Structure 1
Amino acid sequence: MGPFQLTAEFGTWISYLVPLLIGMGFGAALEMSGFGDSRKLAAQFYFKDITVLRVMFTAIVVASLLIGLSSAIGLIDFDALFVNPTYLAPQIVGGVIMGIGFIIGGFCPGTSLVAASTFKIDGLFFVLGATFGIFLFGETVSSFEGFYNSTFLGRFTLPELFGVDAGIVLIGVVFMALFMFLGGEMLEDVFGKKVPADKLRFYPKKPMAWAFGGILITIAFVTAFVGQPDAKRLWELKAAELGPKMADRSVYVHPMEVAELTQNTGVYVKILDLRPQYHYNLFYLRNSVNVTMDQLEDPDYIKSLKALPANTVIFTVSTDDEVAAIGWQMLVAQGVPNVYIIEGGVNNWMSIFTPPPCLAYPKKGERKAEEPAFVFHRAVGDCCNTAYPEIRHKEKPTDCHLESFSQDAAAHSEAGEKKPEAPIVKFERKVKLERKAAVQGGCS
């Protein structure tokens, strides 16, 4: 499933060669389309030559459709692609400035390099000016850094804005592009070719244009019909790649390692508790949050998890670890990084960090999967040492928090004053922080 990590999968030389070939093809296409001629580029703003509009809109629409369709049928993981983060206000201002510069200079940064590569004088001077502008920006950005980083929306796309499937947005984009093609041709006829109004045609002139438009519309509707994959379908698509991690249990982390990480100031630990709320209210790990499976399919919630700092480790936990494993599948399938499962769930946790008998006792007899192994006398939440072993995870829990001082509690507290060391537990450390870089590309 794409995109491919070229260096990891094919080696260093291939990772150099592929971008080089793509860049050569892209540059050649721009030059053949006339993007190295500032007169042709500027003419679009006067509606005299819309070649630039045709080429760029065609590229945008075709790329959008291929990405959308590939994502819908599982050929590519859209979450692994880089999408420029949105800083709304500064990007609007930057767009206005760039537009003014485009009209005056006749180039955008990318097309100026195309012109400079063929030694056009205006292109060379534009590149020099752009380089000097970059230098000035770097020297002065600190004076308006607040505005430069304002109105941050993160990775924000049109489907998220409108709350619809990407295929619906693609249908709108295709019809908008076709309208722009037709409208642009009419404007070119009026302002460039001086065609009289009574001879204008309000439909495409060439049969190929009809065929091309029909293909675009068909692909857009197919993409919308198939729809973007949800968490369950994403896991089915990625099971061959991610499934072995569950089979060899490399993502099942021992509770003692979790306890150590919670006291590591260089790591931010987030625990997602997938148990029913009434089990969670009886006892839960300190700083854990109770979430449902529905939340793990909520795009906004997934987005919030992806926005966590790069040093974040996310753990899923349930009563045992069967439900937690399903939660892990849903998270990693949607591209959430650094997700692990607490091995054995809360039951295993409590067998290692055993609560005092005044709070809970082991359940006797056989029990079903995901059934609590301990019976609590009352709801304790996280008000016992078992819930926060990051404070002293090598000592036996001694905190009873009882309103009435029973004989058993007195004996337990007396023993607790000696603070006996817990048995040493041997385990394999498995957490490895990984920062998954999204594949990115394109021109400015």
Structure 2
Amino acid sequence: MAPFPLDLLGLLGKPGTYLFFLIIGFGFGYALETSGFNKSTILAGQFYFRDSRVVKVFFTAIVVAMSLLFLAVRIGLLDYNLIWVPPTYLWPGIVGGLIMGVGFILGGFCPGTSIVAASTLKLDGVAYVLGGLVGAWAFGETERFFADFYFGSYYGRVTLMDLFHISTGAAMLLISLMAILFFFVMESLQTLVTGEKPTPSIPRRIAWFAPLIVSLIVFVWGDATPAEKWARIAPLKEPLLESRAVYIHPGELLDSLADDTLSVVMLDVRPETDYNLFHIHGAQRVDMADLPHIARELLLRPNINQTVIVLMSNDETAATQAWKVLQAESVPNVYILEGGVNRWIATFAAEEEGIQPASQSGEDQLAYTFQAALGDRWEASDPFPHDWELEYQPKIKLERKKGPSSGGCG
């Protein structure tokens, strides 16, 4: 398993975690203060092309963090699925960005830098912070009047890789090249406005091109495949398959569906033709290739610790492969329907008309023939739990797993 992100509460306890956050906050504030970001004239100067240090510092922070983060992901040190990516609300984000941009120009601060200025008792910084608090209170009191717009145009967790269907390395290259171009343009405009040329230095060039080199490494290396991710955790997870600890009896699935305290997600990885012939009521058919994306959506569920994911195929072969993919993507509480859909039919459709055992069937193929393709309209697709008392060994044990953790600069 990837060692990062760390479970700070488990490692340090609350006092140690708070101390850790305090140290990080001190370092962040110190960096902003030494960069001169406590002065509104410097911050506002970027909009007039008189001072480009703000753009350079923040863009450098972006590309350095991006490079180290995705390099750690590719090496296997960091689990990207447990990193919080803010969901996209397109139009509220655009309007909010415009409001913040206007406020930045007029006030000379962004929220983070205003705290730095206020901590050094600068009056404009104090006034900006007080104004921000009043604005936050006013937003909280009036949000109900425009809630439909505020929560509208929701796109979920969207990254450049998802949007443009490119690899992580390609997205990193684009951002790194954009940063270098942006630095060059800002310095050229600053020289044009002020007449002062920046002094060339080796550290400055390293800061420009080091992220580009890391991006090239990740680009050439390529994204980790599900097979590579599984190989890293196979020694820990293979025993669960060998002991059949994750294969649940059809009766346990039926009882779980009737349990109001659980949220059950059933993913059917069979071909569409088999799914249309017969499937369990509520099961969603998915393609194996879509499982990494589905894993990210599952991890964003607010009730992930009370959610049980059950995979099914005709027998167990395809479902077991799907289980490995979801395990590699850090999805908790994933189980496999024991014996697959064939076992479910044998248990609940023994006497149902229109369903007959097939004369022969291959590995992970339907072992039954159907009079019609009724999907989940067969009686056995949705059996009434109280009509069945089946003996089985319960195997579902909810694993309380940390979801993606949030953070960032306000």
**TM bracket (short chain):** 0.7 to 0.9
Query: What TM-score, normalized by structure 2, do the two folds share?
Result: 0.87
Quick check: 38-47 or 346-355, which moved more? Answer: 346-355
Quick check: 1-10 or 159-168, which moved more? Answer: 1-10
The 2-side partners of 1:361 and 1:131 are apart by 69
1:394 — aligned with what? 387
The 2-side partners of 1:89 and 1:97 are apart by 12
What is the CA-CA distance between 1:383 and the residue it aligns to?
A: 4.3
Instruction: State whether residues 277 and 370 of structure 2, in contact with CA within 8 Å, keep that contact through their aligned partners in structure 1.
Output: no
The 2-side partners of 1:350 and 1:148 are apart by 47
The aligned length equals 405
1:317 — aligned with what? 312
The 2-side partners of 1:286 and 1:231 are apart by 29
The 1-side partners of 2:92 and 2:368 are apart by 57
Structure possessing the higher radius of gyration over alpha carbons: 1
The 2-side partners of 1:74 and 1:5 are apart by 17
Instruction: State whether residues 247 and 338 of structure 2, in contact with CA within 8 Å, keep that contact through their aligned partners in structure 1.
Output: yes
Q: 1:60 aligns with which of 62, 67, 82?
A: 62
Which segments of 5 or more consecutive residues in structure 2 lack a partner in the other structure? none
Instruction: State whether residues 73 and 226 of structure 1, in contact with CA within 8 Å, keep that contact through their aligned partners in structure 2.
Output: no
Query: Which amino acid in the other structure matches residue 156 of structure 1?
Result: V
2:334 — aligned with what? 339
1:46 — aligned with what? 48
Quick check: 355-364 or 213-222, which moved more? Answer: 355-364
1:438 — aligned with what? 404
Instruction: State whether residues 272 and 316 of structure 1, in contact with CA within 8 Å, keep that contact through their aligned partners in structure 2.
Output: yes
The 2-side partners of 1:28 and 1:216 are apart by 23
Quick check: 133-142 or 321-330, which moved more? Answer: 321-330
1:410 — aligned with what? none
The 2-side partners of 1:164 and 1:95 are apart by 26
Q: 1:237 aligns with which of 232, 238, 250?
A: 232
Quick check: 281-290 or 255-264, which moved more? Answer: 281-290
The 2-side partners of 1:333 and 1:236 are apart by 9
Which segments of 5 or more consecutive residues in structure 1 lack a partner in the other structure? 396-421
Q: 1:17 to 1:440 in 2, by over 3 A?
A: same
The 2-side partners of 1:53 and 1:295 are apart by 38
Instruction: State whether residues 300 and 404 of structure 2, in contact with CA within 8 Å, keep that contact through their aligned partners in structure 1.
Output: no
The 2-side partners of 1:153 and 1:238 are apart by 31
Query: Which amino acid in the other structure matches residue 234 of structure 1?
Result: K
What is the CA-CA distance between 1:25 and the residue it aligns to?
A: 0.9
Residue aligned with 1:294, SS: helix
2:282 — aligned with what? 287
What is the CA-CA distance between 1:266 and the residue it aligns to?
A: 5.2
Query: Which amino acid in the other structure matches residue 137 of structure 1?
Result: F
Quick check: 331-340 or 179-188, which moved more? Answer: 331-340
- Superposed CA deviations along residues 147-196 of structure 1, whole A, max 9, x for unmatched, are 1111111111112111111211111111111122222222222323x34x
Q: 1:220 aligns with which of 215, 219, 226?
A: 215
- Superposed CA deviations along residues 315-361 of structure 1, whole A, max 9, x for unmatched, are 11123323212111112323445432112323433443351175556
What is the CA-CA distance between 1:265 and the residue it aligns to?
A: 4.7
Q: 2:91 aligns with which of 89, 92, 106?
A: 89
What is the CA-CA distance between 1:109 and the residue it aligns to?
A: 0.8
1:275 — aligned with what? 270
Query: What TM-score, normalized by structure 1, do the two folds share?
Result: 0.81
Instruction: State whether residues 89 and 154 of structure 2, in contact with CA within 8 Å, keep that contact through their aligned partners in structure 1.
Output: yes
Please list, as runs of the form range in 1=range in 2, the aligned pairs for 1:418-429 lying within 5 A after superposition: 424-428=390-394
1:385 and 2:379 matched: yes
Instruction: State whether residues 166 and 227 of structure 1, in contact with CA within 8 Å, keep that contact through their aligned partners in structure 2.
Output: yes
1:158 — aligned with what? 160
Instruction: State whether residues 358 and 369 of structure 2, in contact with CA within 8 Å, keep that contact through their aligned partners in structure 1.
Output: no
Please list, as runs of the form range in 1=range in 2, the aligned pairs for 1:344-359 lying within 5 A after superposition: 344-356=339-351, 358-359=353-354
1:114 and 2:107 matched: no
